[in-house]
Amino acid sequence: ALPIWPALAALLITGAFSAAAEEQARAWDASISMGYVGTSGNTETETFNAEGLLTYRTDNWTHNLKLQALGSNKDGNVDAERYYFEDKSDYGLGEDSYLFGKITYTDDRFSGFDSQISLSAGYGRHLIRRDNLDVQGYVGAGYRENDIRDGDSESETIVTIGQSLNW
């Protein structure tokens, strides 16, 4: 008869590697969405949008990256084009509260701005935190730089208020 301890050791080692791989997989979260609408008739219209979300978690940090693009044309003429980037990093202070830093960049070719960039920091809290539901709210202060199409730029102080719902 074979001793049972080598089989138990192999089972424990395999379980440890499996748990480590599962923990590593939970550190990353990603999603991609894309949409297209085309109409024809009196006018030809096409609209395309895309969004990518990426989250990375460590013991104390959560990093959230968002990329968005939107484009539209009517009868072959572009009438909307927008690109958006956001990175928000949260540092956990305990079970339910955190400090955050956030940067956003918007390039909307059909607005009055060449681009807008903002930096903000503040405090956030998990209002509801269950296995299948997470509701967060956050508030902070920051700075925004607006590059205006006519070549000027303006800067302003901003207040950042936000929420997050994961269900």
pLDDT in tens, 121-142: 999 999 999 989 999 999 999 9
Q: What percent of the chain has pLDDT over 70?
A: 84
Q: Give the model's confidence band at 76: pLDDT under 50 very low, under 70 low, under 90 confident, else very high.
A: confident
> pTM of the predicted model, to two decimals?
0.78
- Main-chain phi, psi angles of 81, to 5 degrees: -155, 115
CA separation, residue 24 to residues 12, 43, 59, 79 (Å): 18, 50, 12, 43
Residue 82 pLDDT exceeds 70? yes
Average pLDDT value for residue range 104-126? 93
Residue 13 pLDDT exceeds 80? no
Amino acid 69: pLDDT = 95
Residue 120 pLDDT exceeds 60? yes
**Cα distance between residue 91 and residue 84, in whole Å:** 23
Q: Give the model's confidence band at 17: pLDDT under 50 very low, under 70 low, under 90 confident, else very high.
A: low
Average pLDDT value for residue range 83-103? 96
- Main-chain phi, psi angles of 26, to 5 degrees: -70, -15
Residue 33 pLDDT exceeds 50? yes
Q: Are 106 and 83 within 8 A, CB to CB?
A: yes
Q: Are 76 and 88 within 8 A, CB to CB?
A: no
**Cα distance between residue 49 and residue 126, in whole Å:** 30
- Main-chain phi, psi angles of 100, to 5 degrees: -135, 155
Average pLDDT value for residue range 63-82? 93
- Main-chain phi, psi angles of 22, to 5 degrees: -65, -40
Structure tokens at 77: 């003429």
Structure tokens at 32: 């991609």
In 3-state terms, what secondary structure has residue 26? helix
Q: Give the model's confidence band at 167: pLDDT under 50 very low, under 70 low, under 90 confident, else very high.
A: confident
- Look at the block and give the residue holding tokens 């138990």: 8
